[in-house]
Structure 1
Amino acid sequence: MHYLFADFSLDTDRRELRRDDGLLRLEPKAFDLLVYLIANRERVVSKDDLLAAVWNGRIVSESALTTCINAVRKVIGDNGKEQRRIKTLQRKGFRFVADVREERNSRYAGVGEISLDTSKPALTLPAKPSIAVLPFANLGGNPEQEYTADGIVQDIITELSRRNELFVIARNSSFQYKGKSVDVRLVGRQLGVRYVLEGSVRRGGDRLRVSAQLVDAITGGHRWAEHYDRNLKDVFALQDEVVSTIATILTAHVKKAEVEWSRSKPPNSWLAYDYYLQAAETYNAFLSSFSVEDLHETQRLLRQSLAIDENYARSYAILARTLCTAWALPLDGDFLNRDVLDRAHELALAAVRLDANLPEAHGCVGCVFTHKMQSDAAIATFERAIALNPSFVDWAFGLALVSAGQSKRAIDVLATYRRLDPFHSPIASGYAGLAHYMLKQYEQALPMLTDCVARSPEFRSPHLWLAATYARLGRKAEAQSEVAEVLRREPNYTLAGTARRLIRFKYEKDDKHLFDGVRMAGAPE
């Protein structure tokens, strides 16, 4: 379905939101929320409705829902005061109030739709991650370009089939859906797969755009999307390049979506696993909201998980990460409490003991070492995690490298992380901006830091780094404004106090470079 409102275009099949033909970034939960509001615009949607539709009925905090609503409003140019598009009705819910026009996507014009039939039993999922690659739509409309779309899909299937860690449906089965509008959940049931890759090919002049998106066939939820624009001088070389790129990133995202099933010990109870999943989702929400309620809810869910299965390594790992976070942020009494950091270390080591092949566990140990100023040990630990799985990249590795004086490598590591995860945490942008600052690349630091601040305004440290960057660029008023934001969040902040206890460097020159910039911005001594 295609929804048109104002100058926006929302394509539910391709999961794309555009404005003036430019693709807008919207995280999966926010996208699902917007679709649900528009599809149900004739009525008021309650919070319970949204929780059931977007979070599958799972319990999430009030702030997580608010953060999601605000993210949608920001992207579509709405705000909490005017509410021109999403209206809040106190104690009732929300309603999408902008004028909307619906269109059936042209790729499905004149063809039959396949609807979801749950009367037939679904095929059993294979033991390893399974995927079907559906025929890509030829959006150019030129029948002669059909071979290009089909050839790319064929090559993706061939490339993925070479990877022993995946179960890939053969082309013959995937192409039975060619030219049909399908529900990916039906595809999952009929082919017995967990994931479906959809896409399209559009040619314009001497340019070719290939778009792809990975969808969870069980829930219908979006996992990853990307598009590739290339010059059409050599179509076969282009196919090789695009196929190789998509296959590599796709494999990484399927592994990520499976949460490393092949390397993790399954919990003794599915209920423990469900609590873990809820906790992971709540913690992801926290990384945008920086709400203490989200952090506490994450910890509560993890303790529930461990009460059911006391040997579940992944719950220990993420609980250790939440304690590292609580130590580093002025949210509650755990702030800069040495005992909290020691407890995080104990939990992270417990996760490693329970599953020595779990990259996340080693990453949590690395995070603790970073805060304890053991930079060499931190880097070695993060490298161990990546050796276990080359597709595992942790944004916290970026901070470890910056504090160790390896900002150039930090930029490369964080670029890889952001490439593997298009919907990456804002913190990754913040650390990348800090790395550019440390290399005196202030112009390059600026967009990274402003992105982090815009997406996570309650995260204090990037305001400091942005203030120092503005000061180095001679933009005094903007630098002072960022310092004011820091003091609003932490009135007792001083350079001699919490600043140097939190952000410490292996080399004195790096420490001086950052804090001289913060001082130039007007931070109190």
Structure 2
Amino acid sequence: MSDLGEVSRKLVAVFAADVEGYSRLMGADEVGTLKGLTQRRAILDRLIGEYRGRIANTAGDSVLAEFGSAVDAVQCAVEAQTAFAEANSSLAPDRPISFRIGIHIGDVMIRAGDLFGEGVNLAARLQSIAKPGGVCISGVTYDQVRKVLPMAFVDLGVQQVKNIQEPIRTYEVNAPSETREAAHARVSEAESPPPLPDKPSIAVLPFQNMSGDPDQEYFADGMVEEIITALSRNKQLFVIARNSSFTFKGKAVDIKQVGRDLGVRYVLEGSVRKSGSRIRIAGQLIDAASGAHLWADRYDGALEDIFALQDQVASSVAGAIAPSVSQAEMERAKRKPTSNLDAYDCYLRAEAAHFEYTRDATDRAIGFYRQAIALDPQFALANAAMAATMSTRRAWGWSTDPEADKSQAIMYAKAALRMERKDALVLARSALVLTFNSDEVELADSLLDEAVRLDPNGMSGWIWGGWTKSILGAHRTAIDYHQRALRLSPLDVRITFAHEGLAFAHFFLGNYEEGLRCAADVLRHHPTHVQGLRITMACHAMLGNMEAAQKSWQQVALLSPSDRVTETRRRSPWRDQDIAKLQEAYRLAGVPE
């Protein structure tokens, strides 16, 4: 890798400006728009210099600058917008060249004069929130300027912005000359329903107590709190906090209105009913925009085990909802026109293709993941998913260059881990790549332990954790892990890999009949999965079912003609004694040396 140059860090006020509707303006009048933009850039460049700022990056209609003082940055922004408004006053109503400006104080990286880092990303997101001709600042910037500048600041509340994990407090800056009425109008605008986050969003409403027993109210409320906590562990979901959800307690609700009021795409509602010493809990997941029911289930238990039942339901609901939401999001992305894709939509399209598990779909998925990473190089989950898909292509025999896919899979996995170590799915997918493509199984095992700790209801951590346990020789623990994954999400398309892991673990423990049953579950979904055929062949051979073992070998030989007994060690990550057992079974089945 080439030297990227010296990188330094410092705390600055980051100033991000961008022209609203630039593509539309250029489409209507290229020459006039370019002339107007040039005039406004001259104004902006001059003001940035006068307020002791430095222009770091420019790209067409956008400007990124740094200031040593938040006061200077905000004064520069307000004066620039005043000058732009005057320049626009003589233009037709549909032709103004209006900038949005965002300002945030943050730590940035500087390389060759360019600015990088989360401070830059936050300023850019604030710019996108600003109205045309407006200035939007972060809460930390507001704290620095509110007592110094004679300006009105409108609190826009806490905003969830694209690709930033934590919501941020935002303020709109109004010039001193703006009327009180205009400021009030801005407040009303700020109180409009929140925009949908860029990741799947869900609210869990208070469960209805249908027992006729007010004493069960605490249990219904506790059930919801447990589910919210369980869902919140999944970093791919935006989960509304309990205090907001519970404002709907005791009210007849319109699910579509709830979605609008809370800014969520999905709503979970449920009920609790007591009958004698038994209690029943029901839940259903609804698409707030369409009202469509995506998932529903119910749970029964004894009243004396009420808290154990509460834990069971919370875990099961969280485990079941995640794949239901993921599937709904993938279907939604498929319906979007390709011209409107952003990084997350590319990621969703890639996921949908990846989980088809065909050669063509896998290549298509890799293409979409590449687009997502090109749009957002810091998208850790897309990097981890790219790594996992390349590993899949190699493992299923679909790669035209297996060694290149292997090295790239490791590269993307390690890049994802450098970006993000607190996302359970990033850890799980990166770890599976290290497990099957490198000699770092112990590292992968520790990453998967952390994934399970971060999200005990996430299926991926349990599946791939089961594989690392088995590779390290802990086959009984591996069986427990895979069975936990099956309980959490039995209908997920990836559950095949839990069945496959169970088949191998049972084989190594000498449970050949059980291994065959698990292998049959693999082949029922993927009849040409060569690993499923290999373990089927091995179990038949050890049971003495030679005709069935040889038939399985014929299928393996068609799919993987290079298979040889001596190749098992190179292809497999198992311990020496486990590889020796596989080789014994393969010889019995008729696999050439």
TM-score exceeds 0.5: yes
- Give the CA deviation at 1:279: 0.8
Q: Is the 8 A contact 2:294 2:324 kept in 1?
A: yes
Q: Distance in 1 between matches of 2:471 and 2:433?
A: 13
Partner of residue 133, structure 1: 205
Deviations 1:269-322 (A, max 9, x none): 970111011112221222xxxx11011000010111122222222211111111
| RMSD (Å), alpha carbons | 3.7
Q: Distance in 2 between matches of 1:357 and 1:158?
A: 22
- Give the CA deviation at 1:368: 3.4
Partner of residue 455, structure 1: 525
**Aligned: 1:308 with 2:380:** no
Partner of residue 447, structure 2: 381
Q: Which amino acid aligns with 2:555?
A: E
- The percent of aligned pairs where both chains have the same amino acid is 25
Question: Would the alpha carbon gap of residues 484 and 301 (structure 1) be closer, same or farther in structure 2, given more than 3 Å must change?
Answer: same
Partner of residue 105, structure 2: none
**Aligned: 1:505 with 2:574:** yes
Q: Is the 8 A contact 1:276 1:315 kept in 2?
A: yes
- Give the CA deviation at 1:252: 5.5
- Count of aligned pairs between the two proteins: 375
Question: Would the alpha carbon gap of residues 197 and 464 (structure 1) be closer, same or farther in structure 2, given more than 3 Å must change?
Answer: same
Question: Would the alpha carbon gap of residues 368 and 123 (structure 1) be closer, same or farther in structure 2, given more than 3 Å must change?
Answer: closer
Q: Which amino acid aligns with 1:353?
A: R
Q: Is the 8 A contact 2:280 2:299 kept in 1?
A: yes
Q: Distance in 2 between matches of 1:298 and 1:333?
A: 16
Q: Is the 8 A contact 1:211 1:225 kept in 2?
A: yes
Structure 2 unaligned residues grouped into runs of 5+: 1-191, 233-238, 327-339
Partner of residue 407, structure 2: 342
- Give the CA deviation at 1:443: 3.2
**Aligned: 1:157 with 2:224:** yes
- Give the CA deviation at 1:256: 7.4
**Aligned: 1:281 with 2:356:** no
Structure 1 unaligned residues grouped into runs of 5+: 1-120, 139-143, 260-268
Question: Would the alpha carbon gap of residues 164 and 317 (structure 1) be closer, same or farther in structure 2, given more than 3 Å must change?
Answer: closer
Task: Say which structure, 1 or 2, has more relative contact order (CA 8 Å, 6+ apart).
Answer: 1
Q: Is the 8 A contact 2:295 2:324 kept in 1?
A: no
| TM-score normalised by the chain length of structure 1 | 0.61
Partner of residue 11, structure 2: none
Q: Is the 8 A contact 1:194 1:216 kept in 2?
A: yes
| TM-score normalised by the chain length of structure 2 | 0.55
Question: Would the alpha carbon gap of residues 297 and 214 (structure 1) be closer, same or farther in structure 2, given more than 3 Å must change?
Answer: same
Q: Distance in 1 between matches of 2:359 and 2:274?
A: 49
**Aligned: 1:429 with 2:499:** yes
Q: Is the 8 A contact 2:206 2:224 kept in 1?
A: no
Q: Distance in 1 between matches of 2:588 and 2:297?
A: 41
Question: Would the alpha carbon gap of residues 463 and 215 (structure 1) be closer, same or farther in structure 2, given more than 3 Å must change?
Answer: farther
Q: Is the 8 A contact 1:249 1:420 kept in 2?
A: yes
Q: Distance in 2 between matches of 1:278 and 1:332?
A: 21
Partner of residue 95, structure 1: none
Where does 1:18-37 land on structure 2 (aligned, <5 Å)? none
- Give the CA deviation at 1:515: 2.7
**Aligned: 1:411 with 2:479:** yes
SS of equivalent to 2:355:
helix
Q: Which amino acid aligns with 1:282?
A: A
Q: Distance in 2 between matches of 1:524 and 1:149?
A: 67
- Give the CA deviation at 1:333: 1.2
- Give the CA deviation at 1:238: 4.3
Stretch moving more, 250-259 or 431-440: 250-259
Q: Distance in 2 between matches of 1:386 and 1:353?
A: 19
Partner of residue 329, structure 1: 396
Q: Is the 8 A contact 1:370 1:400 kept in 2?
A: yes
SS of equivalent to 2:527:
coil
**Aligned: 1:357 with 2:432:** no
- Give the CA deviation at 1:148: 10
Partner of residue 45, structure 1: none
- Give the CA deviation at 1:242: 2.6
Larger radius of gyration: 2
Partner of residue 53, structure 2: none
